[in-house]
Amino acid sequence: QVQLVESGGGLVQAGGSLRLSCAASGRAINSYYIGWFRQAPGKEREFVATITWSGWSTSYADSVKGRFTISRDNAKNTVYLQMNNLKPEDTAVYYCAGTQRGLNSSPRAYDYWGQGTQVTVSS
C-alpha cells in the first residue's frame, strides 16, 4: 500500500510560480514511478509529468515543457513539481500518482492517487 499527499496549491497570477509537493509513504516506495496529473472542470484527467524514483529519467507533457520541472528528494520521500510562467489554462486540480509500470502518461497505469490540490491561475 502506498499513500500520497499533495500540497502547495493556491491562487497565483499569470506568469507566477508555484511548487507542488507529493509526500509518499508505504511499502517499497522506492520502486514506484511518480506522476503528476491535472483535471480541469469538465475535462478529462491529463498527464503533466513523471519521474523515476531514482530521478534519472523524467517525461513531460508538451504543454508544460520548459515551464514545469519534476524532481524528487529521496531523503524526504517527496516529489516536487515546480511550475513557472503559469497560464490561466494551467488552472486545475493537480494529483500525484504512483505506478510500478514505468514512465507512463496514462492515468490508467497508476494504482495509487493522492487527494489533489487546487491550482488557480488568474489572468
pLDDT at 28: 80
Q: In this predicted model, what pLDDT tens digit does every residue of 12-60 receive, in sequence order?
A: 999 999 999 999 998 888 889 999 999 999 999 999 999 998 888 999 9
pLDDT of residue 56: 87
Query: Quick one: which of 78, 80, 91 has its CA closest to 30?
Result: 78
Grid cell at residue 76: 524526504
Residue 9 has pLDDT above 90, yes or no: yes
Q: Which residues, 6+ apart, have CB-to-CB distance to 10 below 8 Å?
A: 18, 118, 119, 120
What per-residue confidence (pLDDT) applies to 6? 98
Cell of 75: 531523503
Q: What is the pLDDT of residues 57-113, one digit of tens each?
A: 999 999 999 999 999 998 899 999 999 999 999 999 999 999 999 899 999 999 999
- pLDDT score, position 82: 98
62-78 pLDDT, tens per residue?
999 999 999 999 889 99
